[in-house]
Copies of this chain bind each other. A is one copy, B any other.
Amino acid sequence: MLLTLGQNMDSATVNASHLRSFIERIEKLEEEKKVIAEDIKEVYSEAKGTGFDAKIIRKIVSMRKMDREKRREEEEILDLYLTALGMIE
């Protein structure tokens, strides 16, 4: 529910104000996100204009991302082992 049941309705004005504030913050952030998404597109465009194939760059970026995630996972597993062995923490 929008307001938790049982909440005093006398505070409706305060709540409306809070709600408005949350919504504005979200909309502002989404606007920023959109701008960045457009920036990313522009970089792909620029790369294309320099003779690179956007699709392949996309692939490279995605592979590098997977590598980072894989490395992070491996580190986490290593930490788990080390913790289990009482060697850290």
Contacts and interface: CB of A to CB of B under 8 A. Distances in A.
On chain A, which size bracket covers the interface? 35 or more
Nearest to A4: B51
Interface string A21-48: 0110111011011001101100110110
A1 B65 CA distance: 21
A12 interface: no
B43 A59 contact: no
A4 B20 CA distance: 40
Interface string A45-62: 011001111011101111
Contacts of A59: 73, 76-77, 80
Given A23-B64, A59-B73, A63-B73, A53 B2 contact: yes
B1 A85 contact: yes
B27 A36 contact: no
